Structure 1
Amino acid sequence: MSVIERLDSESSNPTFTAVTTDTPTKPPAKVISKADALVDHIIATVGKEIILGLPLAIGKPINLVNALYLRAKKDPSITLRIETGITLEKPVGKSRIEKNFLEPFVEREFAGVPDAEYALGLRSNTVPDNVTISEFFFKAGSHINSPQQLNYTSTNYTHAMRDLLDKGVNVIAQLVAKRTEDGITTYSLSSNSDLALDMIPEMDKLKAMGKGIAVVGEVNTNMPFMYNHAEVADNQFDFILDGNSEPDHKDYNLFAAPHASISAEDHMIGLYSSCLLKDGGTLQVGIGSLSSALTYSTLVRQQNNRIYNKMLSELNVYEKFPICREVGGSGTFETGLYGCSELMVDGFVHLYKAGILKREVFEDLTIQNLINQEKIGVDVDISTVLMLFEAGAIHAQLTSADVRYLKRFGIFNKEVELIEGSLHVQEESCAADLQNTEALEWISKHALGNRLSGGVVMHGAFFIGPQDFYQALRDFNEDDHSKFCMTSVNYVNDLYDHMLGNQQIKQAQRKHARFVNSGMMVTLDGSVISDALENGQVVSGVGGQYNFVAQSHQMWDSRSIMKVRSCTFRKGKLISNILFNYGHNTIPRQLRDIVVTEYGIANLRGKPDHVVYTELIKIADSRFQKQLLEQAKAAGKVAKDYQIPKEFTNNTPEAIQAFYKKYTNEGFFGPFPFGCSFTDQELQLGKALKALKAKTATPLGKCKTIAKALSAPKPDDRINTLLKRVGLNEPQNLEEKITRKLLVAELSI
C-alpha cells in the first residue's frame, strides 16, 4: 500500500498507524529541466552554506550533485559538505596492463553511466578546500590508506537520519522514478526509500521553523518505479529536476554491479547456510558472492531437492551440525519465505521467480496473527470473516469502518456497499449481521473477494545489482509490483514502533527470521569483525549489520547467521580469519550466534566459552587449528586434555575441491550461475593475473615465479591474442617484459 493510500485509508484495527505527513497542505514541487538552474534555486533557498544529504549507491542524483560540486569548485564563496554513503565508482586500473584489461570491460558494462565528479576529485586529490565529503559507509576497501578515513562517520544505518539532522543538513536529494496516471503525477523513491520516508517529514518541520530547506528529486526514466511505500505525491519535494522536456535529452544509465564470481569456498558457505533456512520463515541477506552463493543453494534445495539432500548427506551435515535440524530444514519451500532486508539484492528476484519468496505478510496485526496461527489463509471464504469477528477486528453488526477494512484487504469485493445498515451488491442486499445465518449465506455468495489483497513478500530499504536485475524490476507487472515494498530502513532494520508499522506487527511478520550477514573475521570468543581493521582503518561500515544481529536476539525464533571465509591471503601470506583475538570488533561477543565457514557451522548462542571456542576451532582451516587450540588452552578457555574430533580435522582446500569438482561435473555450482559480465578472454586473463598477484606478493614468491617463467613455452596464437588484449604483445620496458614472461607461463598452465 502506498504512502498516499495510507493517508486516505481508515481502519478499525487499533494497531494501524497512519503516516502523519501533512501532505494535503503542501504545494506541488517546482519542476526544473536544467541542473545549473536548479543549483541557483537551491542557493536562493538555503544560501551558500550547503549541507547536502545523499542516499546510498544508485540513489544519488548525479546530474544535480555534479552541478553543485562544480559550482562550488568554481565559486569559493560556496561551502559544500556532502554527507552520504557508498559512492559507486567505475573500476580503474593502476598499471598500464590493468588499464588495458579494464578499459574495454568498463566501456561495455558501464556505457552511459556518469562519474560522480566529487569521487573523481577525491581520487585525484583535487577537491577544493570549500568542499568536504563525509561517508558513513565506504564501498568495501575503497578508501584504505586514504585521507577519507578522516571524514568517515561511524553509525548504524538506522541512526543515519538522526546524524544528518545533527549535522545541520539543509538539502536532501535523490534519484526518483516518475509516472503520470489520469493526470496525477507521482514519484517513486524506488532504489532508496531507506531514509527519505523519515527524512522528508523532519525537513518539513525545519521549514515550519523558518529554516531554508530544499528537498529535491531527480527523475531518471531508467529507474524502476516501485510501488507501495515508495510511491509518494509530487508535493513531497520542493524541486524536481526532470530534463525529459528538453529536446535530445537522454537519462543516464544506472550504475550496475557486475555479476560476482562465486568460488568453491563461497559455494560451500552458501550450501551450509541454506540448510539453516526454515520454510515459512523470513530472510535477510547482504550483497556479494556469499549472498549469491546462498541464493544458489537455496534454489538447488527447491528445484533439485534429491541432489541437495545427497550433498548434505555426503557432508554428514546433520550429524556434525545438528543445529540445521533444530532451526532449519532440507525440504522444499511449501509455505515459502518472506524477505525483510535493508538491501534488496537480485537474489530475492531469483527466489521470487522460483516460487520460494512467496510468503505474504500484511499491514494488519489481526490478519497477520490469524495467518501465523493458520486460522485463515490468503484465499478468502466466509470463515475469514468469522475469524476476524471472533478476533475482535470487526463487529457482528458491520459498520462503515468494518466494510472499508474488509474491502481494503480484499475480503469483501469492491462492489460491496453499506447503506442504512444493509449490505448491497448491485441490486442484491442483506442485513449486515454476522450472527444472521441468511446474511452469512448471502455474503458468501455475493460479497466475498477471492484472495487477501495487500500482501507483501519483500520489504527492502535500498537496492543495487546487475543490469538484468534492474530490467527484471522494470518488467514487473502490477501483481509483482504489489508484492515488493521498498520502505524505510527504520521499518526494516529494527523492531521499534514506526509510522509504517509498530513492533507487534513487525514481530508477527518476521517469524523464524534468519538474518544472514558477512564478516571479515571472527575471534574465538564469538566477536565478529566486519567493518574495520585493528588499526582503526575502515574497510566499509557497520551499516545495518548490528541492527539485524540485535534484532535476531529480540525474537525467540530468529537467528543471526554470520558467513566468514575461514582464511585469506594478505600480503602474500595465508592467514586464518578465525583468530584468537583482535583489536576491534563490529559485533560483540554477547551477541554471538551462528557462524558459517566453508567447513561448517558453529552454534554459539547461549553456550559457555569453552564450547564457543571449540565450535569455532572445528570450522577453522586445519592448517590453523593446532595454533588456535594451543592459544585457547593457554588462556584457560579450553580444557588441557581437549582434542579436536577426527571428523573436523580434514578442513582442507583439497577436501573442498574434491566435493566441488564432483558436483560441478554433474552441472551444479560453477563461478557464474546467474550470468557472467566478462568475456571468455577476460575470464582467462583475470584468472591468470589474479594468480600471478598472489604468487608474487612476497619477495620469495616473486623469485620462484620468475624462475619458473624463464622456462615457459613460446606463446601460441591463443596466448598472443590475450597478450595483445592487455598490451603485452609489445612490452615497453623491462618490468613489462618480465610481466609478459610471467603471464605467458601462467596462461600456459
Structure 2
Amino acid sequence: MYRGEYRRKCVDAATAVKQIKSGDWVDYGHFLCSPVTLDDALANRAGELEGVNVRGVGYAGLPKVAVADPSGRSFNYNSFHFSGGERYLHDRGGCSYIPVLYHEANRVYDEGDMTADVFMAQAAPMDESGFFNLGIANSFQYSQIRNASTVILEVNKKMPVCYGGYGEAVHISEVDYVVQGANPGLVSLPRTESSDVDRAIARHVVDRIEDGSCLQLGIGSLPNAIGRMIADSELKDLGVHTEMLVDAYVDMYRAGRISNREKANNPGKMVYTFALGSEKLYEFIHRNPACASYPVGYVNDLHRIAANDRVVSINNAVEVDLYGQVCSESSGFRHISGTGGQFDFAYGSYHSRGGKAFICLASTKTDRTGTVTSRIRPFVDHGTIVTLPRAAVQYVVTEYGVASLKGKSTWQRAEALIGIAHPEFREGLMQEAEKMNIWRGKRRSGAGVALSLAG
C-alpha cells in the first residue's frame, strides 16, 4: 500500500542534503541513530554552504560536518550530550554544548522553543504499515520530527526494531526523503572491566537495594559491577524504569532478578528511552515485548519516576565538594558529557516511596602525569558546572562508604563527605573545611574520622 509513496521519496544522499540551505538549523538523530551516509554527504558541501547549524546528541564517533570544516564557517556543530568524539571536538573549539534537563527536551520542541529546518536520522526499514522504527533512541526524536520543516531518513537494515509505548516510529507520510544507507553495524561499546574500587562501591549500593526495587543505572564499569552483583544475588522482582538501557540489565534479566511485576507504571515492561551497549544488548531489545521504549518526556517525568515504589537511582560524578554539590558534566572549563537525566532521577527517586538516589565515584583520580588527587573537593573549581545542587543530593558513595546528606547542615555534610574521602586527603580536607567555616568537630586523625563517620 505504501510502497509507491516510498519509491517516490527515495533519493540518493547527495540529492537529499541539497534541501539544506545556508543558515539552516539541522537536527541529527540521537546516539546510534545519528546519520552516517547523510552526514558524509552534507560534509561534502563544506565551502559551498555558510552558517549551517547542526545539533546532535551523543554522536558515535566524529561527525563529518565538524571534521570537514574546523573553521566553523560552513557548519557550526552543537550537542545536547557529549560523546567521546564530541568531547574531542569541544577541546579543539569544534563543538558547543546545549544545556537541557533531559525530561524537558520534548517540551522545548513541542512548545516551539526550538525548531529545525531539517531533521536527519538513521531508522529501521519501513514495515508493511508504512512505519520506520526509530531504533535504539526514542529520546525526543519524534518531537524533532514533528517540528522540522523537512524530514530525511537514512535506512539501516541493521537497526534493531524496538517496541514502544509511543514516539518510537515515524510514518512514511511524515517523511520527505528516504535514503538507503550503508547499513553500518551499530557501534558496540567496549567492555569495561570493573576494578576493585568499582566492586567496593557496588557492594555499598547493592546492600541497600530491596526486593521489588525499580532500577535506574548509568553507563560504565560501575553499573556493570552492580549488574553482575545483583545477578549473583538473591534479590527478586526488580523493575526497570531508566533513561538508558545498558548491558547490565540483560545480565540481571537473564538471571531472573527482573520481573517488573511490582511497578506502578508499565508493569511487566522494562521501560527506557535509549539503549547503548554491546551487540548482546542490541540483540536483546530487537522485537522484544519485554522492553518498551518511550519518549524521554515520559520516562524522565519527575512524577512518573516517583510513582513507582522503591526507585533506586545510581549515577556517576566527576567530583563532589564539601557542600555536597555534585559535578558530573565538566571539569573546570572542559566539558565532558552533559546534564542528561541525572537531576531527573535524583529528584524523582527520592520522592518515590522508599526510593534512594546514589551518586557514586571513586575517591581519587590519577592524571596523565601520575598525580593523584581527591574527587571529594573542598569547593568546586573555577569553571566547573554543578549538575546537582546540594539540596537535591541524598547519598554519595565511594569505596570508603556512604554519606547521607539529606537534612544535614553544612558542617555535618563536610564531616560525612570527609569520612568517605581517601584517608590520605582527609586531613587536608579538614583544614580547608575550617577555612570555609564549615567544620565544627575537633581536629582528628584521618583514621578517626573514617571510623566515626563512615563506619
TM-score normalized by the length of structure 2? 0.87
Q: Go from structure 1 to structure 2 and tell me whether the alpha carbon gap of 1:128 and 1:523 turns closer, same or farther (over 3 Å shift).
A: closer
TM-superposed CA distance for 1:564, in Å, is 1.0
1:98-117 correspondence to structure 2 within 5 Å: 116-117=63-64
Residues 306 and 350, structure 2, Cα contact 8 Å, conserved in 1 = no
Residues 395 and 405, structure 2, Cα contact 8 Å, conserved in 1 = yes
Q: Of residues 339, 349, 370 in structure 2, which corresponds to 1:542? A: 339
- 2:79 counterpart of 1:135: yes
Unaligned ranges ≥5, structure 1: 1-26, 90-114, 204-212, 245-249, 303-331, 363-367, 370-453, 497-502, 652-749
Instruction: Please name the residue that 1:355 is paired with.
Output: 256
In the alignment, residue 216 of structure 1 is paired with which amino acid? I
1:673-712 correspondence to structure 2 within 5 Å: none
Residues 361 and 457, structure 1, Cα contact 8 Å, conserved in 2 = no
Q: Of residues 243, 246, 253 in structure 1, which corresponds to 2:180? A: 243
**Residues 222-269 of structure 1: CA deviation (Å, up to 9, x unaligned):** 11101123543524632353528xxxxx51111221111221111211
Q: Of residues 337, 340, 343 in structure 1, which corresponds to 2:238? A: 337
- 2:298 counterpart of 1:491: yes
TM-superposed CA distance for 1:59, in Å, is 1.2
Write out the 4+ residue segments of structure 1 that deviate beyond 4 Å after TM superposition.
27-30, 161-165, 644-647
Q: Which has the higher contact order (CA 8 A, sep 6+)?
A: 1
Q: Go from structure 1 to structure 2 and tell me whether the alpha carbon gap of 1:251 and 1:635 turns closer, same or farther (over 3 Å shift).
A: closer
Instruction: Please name the residue that 1:157 is paired with.
Output: 102
Instruction: Please name the residue that 1:294 is paired with.
Output: 226
Residues 161 and 195, structure 1, Cα contact 8 Å, conserved in 2 = yes
Instruction: Please name the residue that 1:62 is paired with.
Output: 36
Once residues 186 and 640 of structure 1 are traced to their aligned partners in structure 2, the CA distance between those partners, rounded to angstroms, is 64
Residues 28 and 236, structure 1, Cα contact 8 Å, conserved in 2 = no
- 2:322 counterpart of 1:524: yes
Q: Go from structure 1 to structure 2 and tell me whether the alpha carbon gap of 1:28 and 1:511 turns closer, same or farther (over 3 Å shift).
A: farther
> Which deviates further from its counterpart, 631-640 or 591-600?
631-640
Q: Of residues 579, 585, 589 in structure 1, which corresponds to 2:377? A: 579
Once residues 142 and 233 of structure 2 are traced to their aligned partners in structure 1, the CA distance between those partners, rounded to angstroms, is 37
TM-superposed CA distance for 1:286, in Å, is 0.9
Instruction: Please name the residue that 2:24 is paired with.
Output: 50
Residues 302 and 345, structure 2, Cα contact 8 Å, conserved in 1 = no
Q: Of residues 38, 50, 75 in structure 1, which corresponds to 2:16? A: 38
Residues 552 and 559, structure 1, Cα contact 8 Å, conserved in 2 = yes
Residues 217 and 237, structure 1, Cα contact 8 Å, conserved in 2 = no
In the alignment, residue 15 of structure 2 is paired with which amino acid? A
Secondary structure of the 1:341 match is coil
Instruction: Please name the residue that 1:599 is paired with.
Output: 400
TM-superposed CA distance for 1:284, in Å, is 0.7
Q: Of residues 133, 138, 152 in structure 2, which corresponds to 1:188? A: 133
Q: Of residues 27, 32, 48 in structure 2, which corresponds to 1:75? A: 48
Residues 313 and 356, structure 2, Cα contact 8 Å, conserved in 1 = yes
Instruction: Please name the residue that 1:726 is paired with.
Output: none
Secondary structure of the 1:485 match is strand
Once residues 264 and 627 of structure 1 are traced to their aligned partners in structure 2, the CA distance between those partners, rounded to angstroms, is 25
In the alignment, residue 80 of structure 1 is paired with which amino acid? V
In the alignment, residue 603 of structure 1 is paired with which amino acid? S
Q: Go from structure 1 to structure 2 and tell me whether the alpha carbon gap of 1:605 and 1:622 turns closer, same or farther (over 3 Å shift).
A: same
Q: Of residues 456, 472, 475 in structure 1, which corresponds to 2:284? A: 472
Secondary structure of the 1:301 match is coil
TM-superposed CA distance for 1:591, in Å, is 1.0
Unaligned ranges ≥5, structure 2: none
Instruction: Please name the residue that 2:450 is paired with.
Output: 648
Secondary structure of the 1:270 match is helix
Once residues 595 and 278 of structure 1 are traced to their aligned partners in structure 2, the CA distance between those partners, rounded to angstroms, is 18
Q: Go from structure 1 to structure 2 and tell me whether the alpha carbon gap of 1:545 and 1:578 turns closer, same or farther (over 3 Å shift).
A: same
In the alignment, residue 531 of structure 1 is paired with which amino acid? E
TM-superposed CA distance for 1:187, in Å, is 2.1
Residues 173 and 218, structure 1, Cα contact 8 Å, conserved in 2 = yes
Once residues 447 and 322 of structure 2 are traced to their aligned partners in structure 1, the CA distance between those partners, rounded to angstroms, is 17
In the alignment, residue 358 of structure 1 is paired with which amino acid? S
1:395-474 correspondence to structure 2 within 5 Å: 455-474=267-286
Residues 285 and 291, structure 2, Cα contact 8 Å, conserved in 1 = no
Instruction: Please name the residue that 2:191 is paired with.
Output: 259
Residues 197 and 487, structure 1, Cα contact 8 Å, conserved in 2 = no
Once residues 467 and 516 of structure 1 are traced to their aligned partners in structure 2, the CA distance between those partners, rounded to angstroms, is 23
Once residues 66 and 554 of structure 1 are traced to their aligned partners in structure 2, the CA distance between those partners, rounded to angstroms, is 45
1:663-682 correspondence to structure 2 within 5 Å: none
In the alignment, residue 272 of structure 1 is paired with which amino acid? H
1:181-330 correspondence to structure 2 within 5 Å: 183-203=128-148, 213-229=149-165, 231-232=168-169, 234-235=171-172, 237-243=174-180, 251-302=183-234
Once residues 451 and 354 of structure 2 are traced to their aligned partners in structure 1, the CA distance between those partners, rounded to angstroms, is 32
TM-superposed CA distance for 1:60, in Å, is 0.5
Q: Go from structure 1 to structure 2 and tell me whether the alpha carbon gap of 1:599 and 1:143 turns closer, same or farther (over 3 Å shift).
A: farther
In the alignment, residue 241 of structure 2 is paired with which amino acid? C
Aligned length: 439
Residues 285 and 516, structure 1, Cα contact 8 Å, conserved in 2 = yes
**Residues 417-439 of structure 1: CA deviation (Å, up to 9, x unaligned):** xxxxxxxxxxxxxxxxxxxxxxx
Secondary structure of the 1:241 match is strand
**Residues 143-186 of structure 1: CA deviation (Å, up to 9, x unaligned):** 4632136x222222234445565354121222211353xx4332
* Identity between Structure 1 and Structure 2 (%): 23
Residues 193 and 462, structure 1, Cα contact 8 Å, conserved in 2 = yes
Secondary structure of the 1:54 match is strand
Q: Go from structure 1 to structure 2 and tell me whether the alpha carbon gap of 1:641 and 1:171 turns closer, same or farther (over 3 Å shift).
A: same
Instruction: Please name the residue that 2:431 is paired with.
Output: 630
Once residues 343 and 216 of structure 2 are traced to their aligned partners in structure 1, the CA distance between those partners, rounded to angstroms, is 13
Q: Of residues 422, 439, 446 in structure 2, which corresponds to 1:621? A: 422
In the alignment, residue 217 of structure 1 is paired with which amino acid? L
In the alignment, residue 515 of structure 1 is paired with which amino acid? S
Secondary structure of the 1:215 match is strand
In the alignment, residue 549 of structure 1 is paired with which amino acid? A
Choose between structure 1 and 2: higher strand proportion: 2
Instruction: Please name the residue that 2:92 is paired with.
Output: 146
Residues 106 and 297, structure 2, Cα contact 8 Å, conserved in 1 = no
Once residues 133 and 564 of structure 1 are traced to their aligned partners in structure 2, the CA distance between those partners, rounded to angstroms, is 31
Residues 156 and 542, structure 1, Cα contact 8 Å, conserved in 2 = yes
Residues 219 and 240, structure 1, Cα contact 8 Å, conserved in 2 = no
Secondary structure of the 2:227 match is helix
Residues 69 and 80, structure 1, Cα contact 8 Å, conserved in 2 = no
Once residues 358 and 346 of structure 1 are traced to their aligned partners in structure 2, the CA distance between those partners, rounded to angstroms, is 17
Once residues 234 and 29 of structure 1 are traced to their aligned partners in structure 2, the CA distance between those partners, rounded to angstroms, is 14
TM-superposed CA distance for 1:463, in Å, is 1.3
Residues 87 and 119, structure 1, Cα contact 8 Å, conserved in 2 = no
Q: Go from structure 1 to structure 2 and tell me whether the alpha carbon gap of 1:511 and 1:216 turns closer, same or farther (over 3 Å shift).
A: farther
Q: Of residues 348, 351, 375 in structure 2, which corresponds to 1:551? A: 348
Once residues 36 and 355 of structure 1 are traced to their aligned partners in structure 2, the CA distance between those partners, rounded to angstroms, is 49
**Residues 557-600 of structure 1: CA deviation (Å, up to 9, x unaligned):** 22210001100112431110011111442211111210111111
**Residues 623-669 of structure 1: CA deviation (Å, up to 9, x unaligned):** 01111123224444232426466483699xxxxxxxxxxxxxxxxxx
In the alignment, residue 335 of structure 2 is paired with which amino acid? V
Q: Go from structure 1 to structure 2 and tell me whether the alpha carbon gap of 1:525 and 1:48 turns closer, same or farther (over 3 Å shift).
A: closer
